Chains A and B, each alone.
Chain A
Amino acid sequence: MQFLRKQFPVMLAFVMGMTMFIREFVPAKFSERLYYGFTNWAIVITGFAAVFAILSLLHHHMNKVRRRAQGYGYSVITILAFIQMIILGLVFSVEPRTPAGWEYQWMFVPMQATMFATLAFFIASAAFRAFRARTWEALALLIAGLIVMIGRVPIGEYISTHLGTFADWIMNNPNMAGFRGIVLGVALAQVAIAVRIIFGIERTYMGGGD
């Protein structure tokens, strides 16, 4: 039992990790089958986890209703919206000509687009507060930001015709250099964490204790 709880998961992670790693270097047919087999299995596992997740969501909101927590009425909305949607969805499917599809069309999509559009407000206020030359670093941020921002709209041309060209230069040179450095570092860190997981050195994800 102790073996199943402690050693077995670590061994399983090692075997799975090594198999999938080596698979990448084998061009033969079975290698591809292994890949799709694994990802399909992962999809099934996620499906079960989704049931657990939904129970968690419902439990969270039921709890609020039961405790009559402040604003529990809104939790009722979530629960009702979820239940009607999943029933309609599973019974009539989710295509556009069905009730679920109609709700998707006229509720889901506009709310999604609106949340996305709020970014215009946030980006403006973030720019206003962050683009201050408090330090030399902030000054670099400020100048690069202003040039690229204004170089992309027609009014930039009225300030200087070279502004657009310079904005492109910043995007293609210093900007690219910075992100290249980040990506190189991240890639190395990812190799390191992957190796730690495969070799069972990093096992936070398995929890601890019993």
Chain B
Amino acid sequence: MGYLLKGHKPMRNLIRLATLIIILACLCSLPAIGQETGAEVPDKPAAAGEPGDAEEAGPEALEDADIVIGMEPAGEEEASAVEVPLPSQVTVGDLPNDDGTAVYLTWDAFPQETSDVTYTVYLAESRDGPWFEAVSFPANEEYMEEYGHYFPGFFWFQKARHPKSRHVVIVEDVRIGEFNRTGEEIMLPEPVGFTIEPNVGPKNEDGEPIEPGVIDELTGEEVVSQKFVEVEPRKVGTMFLKLTSTVNGETATYPEILEVGARQNWFDTGRLNVLIFAVLFGATVLYFIARARRDPDLFIRKISGLDAVDEAIGRATEMGKPILYLNGMSSLADLPTLAALNILGRVARRVANYESKLTVPCRDPIVLTVAQEIVKAGYADAGRPDAYNADDIFFLTEDQFSYAAAVCGIMMRDKPAANFFMGYYYAESLILAETGASTGAIQIAGTDAPTQLPFFVTTCDYTLIGEELYAASAYLSREPLVLGSLKGQDMAKVFMMFMIVVGTLLMTFGVNFVKDLFKALG
């Protein structure tokens, strides 16, 4: 793409800028990462577990259903400490990138794991208990690998390094209570104070239902059908975790009781790439806008739909018929609506020059007020503030099809000579465009709604496809600043295409890291 670079050196500047940003971003995120990579995070990823003899077979049914909340698991541990494989390299920590509601626990997996071994995590408010079962699962599940996105590490794409050889359990924001039969939440009768869900979700790891509800002593009826007990680590402060492994009913407990507290985090390292790309693309756009200020002569390719705007307005003037302009079905919280309003500003200016009438029915109240302001300003800029009539930019209704029906009514009765459909549309697009086509109006549509593009393309005279909608206001205004932004977009596109080509080539030969750069985790 050498010709893109002719005459100036944006690429070199881009690369400098990008390098700078990446270095800065890394520096910024260092302290945040330091927090959660503290001493306890697994830093020996591939370390094999202790050579526990985990191979005892046995058709053991897991008995999660029988575990009563508050049960003491301690009893059996000494008896079986020899045969049952003991978890090793157990570490705990605050879950990174969260709002301080979760902690995690990891440990090494055994070399060969089967569902014969069951891990159970217990949780307590104090070192002496009482202990509550947090979660229990067969040893061949819940590997670090599956939860990699919770631990983005130094770079978000490092998740690939999270090994299958470690287990992880995340203890999350949960609350004490239960559902009664009608689905209402009720609090547990006994003052539990601090418990944790017996099993995450209503069935256990084996697909069995969790224990049925509590039986009311007096009536003999079942009080609850589903129990959930929850804990909010942040409120609890420090809490204590204990890990056991069970084979054939024999239990071994990791000797150490682990202490951990949850913290709020202030930077989401999982979104580092989003930030970097936002800054990178944003800076590119701003750079080219600044360049355009110095050197306002920029080339922009022909967009036929926009060349037709003048023709359409001219024809409306000749015929003495109004022009209909729609801003789309979406609210101002959506960017296509803003793009549509920008074009409305340009169109209003031209319409004022030609002295024809501009009708703008609106669907969103805020869009209505902004559209009024824009058209008013457009008329004023054209030197004809007197021609502005606030009643021409009016509200219809927020209901999609009622709006469509009313606009169709306007099209069939006022027979506008030109219809503009800009912004975001849903299924009504075809109703509007077909009715408009039947009245013989020139129709110019512009949308980035992929599902509606086919209908506009087939029924309108001109259609601005996707990005062209956003380029339109620059094209119509020829304002150097906005044109500069287009140039910036193109440069970002070159960068993207370059990355796609490089990434695909590398992928083809087995290198995934470029692709991983673009993995959105949040």
Contacts and interface: CB of A to CB of B under 8 A. Distances in A.
**Does chain A touch chain B in the assembled complex, meaning CB atoms less than 8 Å apart?**
yes
Contacts of B486: 192
B357 interface: no
A136 interface: no
B266 A26 contact: yes
Interface in B374-417: 374, 376-377, 380-381, 385, 390-391, 394-397, 399-402, 404-405, 413
A173 B31 CA distance: 44
Contacts of B435: 122
Contacts of A45: 366
B80 interface: no
A195 interface: yes
Interface stretch (B16-24, B247-255, B299-307, B465-473): B465-473
B97 A126 contact: no
B481 interface: yes
A197 interface: yes
Most buried by A among B401, B465, B473: B401
B489 A50 contact: no
B281 A204 contact: no
Interface string B269-298: 001001100100110011001000000000
B342 interface: yes
A122 B271 contact: no
Nearest to B471: A189
A93 B324 CA distance: 36
B281 to A, nearest CB: 5
B100 interface: yes
B450 A182 contact: yes
A106 interface: no
B404 A115 contact: yes
A193 B470 contact: yes
Contacts of A24: 271, 274
**Which size class do B's interface residues fall under?**
35 or more
B391 A186 contact: no
Contacts, number: 199
Interface string A191-210: 11111110101101111110
B339 A193 contact: yes
Contacts of A25: 267-268, 271, 274-275
A108 B402 CA distance: 9
Interface stretch (B108-116, B220-228, B451-459): B451-459
Interface in A113-146: 115-116, 118-119, 122-123, 125-127, 129-131, 141
A57 B376 CA distance: 18
A42 B366 CA distance: 10
Contact of A204 (B342, B413, B455): B342
Given A29-B99, A50-B365, A126-B434, A208 B467 contact: no
Contacts of A29: 99-100, 264
Interface of A is mostly: helix
Interface in A156-198: 179, 182-186, 188-197
B473 A204 contact: yes
A185 B376 contact: no
B369 interface: yes
Contacts of A186: 448, 466-467, 470
Nearest to A54: B395
B431 interface: yes
Contact of B365 (A49, A112, A119): A49
26 contacts: A21-B278, A24-B271, A25-B274, A27-B97, A28-B100, A49-B366, A56-B368, A57-B396, A63-B391, A112-B401, A115-B401, A115-B404, A126-B433, A126-B459, A130-B458, A182-B467, A188-B496, A189-B339, A189-B466, A192-B470, A193-B338, A195-B281, A196-B482, A196-B485, A197-B338, A209-B385
The 5 tightest CB contacts between A and B, nearest first, are A130-B458, A189-B470, A49-B365, A53-B365, A115-B401
Given A32-B99, A49-B369, A190-B335, 17 more contacts: A27-B264, A57-B394, A60-B394, A122-B434, A125-B434, A129-B459, A130-B458, A182-B465, A185-B466, A186-B466, A186-B467, A188-B489, A189-B470, A196-B485, A202-B482, A205-B373, A205-B374
